[in-house]
């Protein structure tokens, strides 16, 4: 297969990087992607989307989807690079600019061999991954219609460039949030003290009430409290995040945490409310397609590993609730991690990953159309 010009992909990535946009506001990003795709001769079918877009290549019934996310974060960039963010306080600190360049490259490479494809490839440029709404918006607008398998990637700063990892079954976590408010503490009680007792009880809940083999993280990430004078019971609240990889563990944790918050508060003469905010669900890779994705990665020269359970949340999980597919990690060798102002992924990952995804789509279509021929013959 022809290789797409690496310098071009890097230049596009840097342009996206310089002009990052927040979730749901990816207007200029969408316009740029549309322009580059159309200049390369790709079809950009109409879907009712405010931001984000879809490109298509090939002909026929068999249909594979590839997905990139395109949004950035409210983070101040601290890399000092020549192509650093020009939108103050907004940064591509999760590497979605890199993911976009990879899937642009895959789209162009597939376009170059369009007449040899055993079907169609639909490339999704998805907005609003960071607030976990974009995948659902795209699904509601019909982008999965006819799609038989879907693939996507996230760069992994902790892995060296040239390394690939995925796993069958559960991969990224259920990523939920909770908020606790200590209310109606009566005089003689201390809302701040009650809140700190609840936090301690929650921390030991995960070690006492769950199997050590259950993948489970509960972390308090912020706390607020106020008191006007020493006699005032005060007000206190805190919030945190919970990561699990199993539906039952998730449900049991929510129930146990709620009970614990209410009982610790009651024992101290206060009342506390516990609210749960469901995030993206556990991302479950289809075993067949996860293995297929690893095999193609090996063929194109990646160092292939089995991924560990990932504690991050990822809204690609919503696609995998509808159709089979696989999400994969590609090493980006950044000294600073995701969502950090110093995050700086290795751009050398872009061209090989573009080549990989075009090969993956190409071979997945061959397999799907061969399967389809078999069932017609039988
Ligand atoms: Zn992110
Ligand atoms: Zn991300």
- CA–centroid distance, 270 to ligand 2, in Å, is 40
Ligand in closest contact with the CA of 338: 1
The CATH code for residues 6-172+282-377 is 3.40.630.10
- Say if residues 258 and 276 touch (Cβ distance below 8 Å): yes
- CA–centroid distance, 94 to ligand 2, in Å, is 5
- CA–centroid distance, 96 to ligand 2, in Å, is 6
Give residue limits of the domains in the chain.
6-172+282-377, 174-277
- CA–centroid distance, 86 to ligand 2, in Å, is 20
Positions at the binding site? 94, 96, 130, 154, 339
pLDDT at 1: 47
- CA–centroid distance, 129 to ligand 2, in Å, is 7
Ligand in closest contact with the CA of 95: 2
- CA–centroid distance, 95 to ligand 1, in Å, is 8
Element containing residue 118 per DSSP (H, E): none
Residues in the chain: 378
- CA–centroid distance, 291 to ligand 2, in Å, is 23
pLDDT at 65: 98
β-sheet bridge partners, residue 156:
331
In the block, which residue shows the tokens 């607030």? 131
Ligand in closest contact with the CA of 315: 2
Q: Which residues fall inside 5 Å of ion ligand 2, going by CB?
A: 94
DSSP, residue by residue, 180-208? EEEE-PPTT--HHHHHHHHHHHHHHHHHH
- CA–centroid distance, 68 to ligand 2, in Å, is 10
Fold match flag (6-172+282-377 vs 174-277): no
Q: Which stretches of the chain score pLDDT less than 70?
A: 1-3, 185, 187, 212-213, 375-378
Strand-pair category, 271-277 with 53-58: unpaired
Ligand in closest contact with the CA of 339: 1
Q: In the numeric block, which tokens belong to residue 68?
A: 């990139």
Report the distance separating Cα 162 and Cα 7, nearest Å: 18
Positions at the binding site for Mn(2+)? 94, 96, 130, 154, 339
pLDDT at 373: 73
Q: Which fold has domain 174-277?
A: Alpha-Beta Plaits (3.30.70)
- CA–centroid distance, 65 to ligand 1, in Å, is 21
- CA–centroid distance, 99 to ligand 2, in Å, is 9
């Amino acid at each position: 297969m022809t290789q797409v010009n690496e310098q071009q992909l890097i230049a596009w990535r840097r342009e996206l990087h310089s002009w990052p946009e927040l979730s749901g506001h990816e207007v200029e990003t969408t316009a740029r992607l549309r322009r580059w795709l159309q200049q390369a001769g790709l079809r950009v079918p109409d879907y009712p989307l405010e931001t984000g877009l879809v490109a298509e290549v090939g002909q026929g019934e068999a249909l594979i989807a590839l997905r990139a996310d395109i949004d950035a974060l409210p983070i101040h960039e601290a890399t000092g690079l020549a192509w650093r963010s020009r939108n103050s306080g907004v940064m591509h600190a999760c590497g979605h600019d890199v993911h976009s360049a990879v899937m642009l490259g895959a789209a162009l490479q597939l376009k170059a061999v369009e007449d040899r494809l055993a079907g169609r490839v639909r490339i999704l440029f998805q907005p609003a991954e960071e607030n976990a709404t974009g995948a659902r918006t795209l699904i509601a607008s019909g982008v999965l219609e006819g799609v038989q398998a879907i693939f996507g990637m996230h760069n992994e700063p902790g892995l060296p460039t040239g390394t690939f990892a995925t796993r069958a079954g559960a991969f990224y976590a259920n990523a939920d949030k909770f908020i606790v408010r200590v209310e109606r503490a009566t005089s003689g009680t201390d809302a701040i003290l009650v809140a700190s007792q609840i936090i301690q009880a929650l921390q030991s809940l995960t070690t006492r009430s769950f199997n050590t083999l259950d993948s489970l993280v509960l972390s308090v990430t912020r706390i607020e409290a106020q008191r006007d004078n020493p006699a005032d019971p005060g007000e206190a609240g805190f919030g945190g995040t919970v990561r699990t990889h199993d539906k039952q563990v998730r449900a049991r944790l929510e129930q146990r945490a709620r009970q614990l918050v209410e009982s610790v508060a009651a024992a101290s003469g206060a009342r506390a409310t516990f609210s749960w905010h469901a995030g993206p669900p556990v991302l479950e890779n289809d075993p067949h397609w996860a293995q297929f994705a690893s095999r193609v990665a090996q063929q194109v020269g990646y160092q292939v590993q089995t991924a560990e359970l990932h504690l991050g949340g990822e809204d690609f999980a919503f696609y995998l609730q509808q159709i089979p597919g696989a999400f994969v990690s590609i090493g980006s060798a950044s000294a600073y991690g995701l969502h950090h102002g110093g995050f700086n992924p290795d751009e050398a990952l872009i061209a090989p990953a573009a080549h990989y995804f075009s090969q993956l789509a190409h071979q997945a279509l061959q397999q799907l159309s061969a399967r389809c021929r078999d069932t017609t013959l039988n």
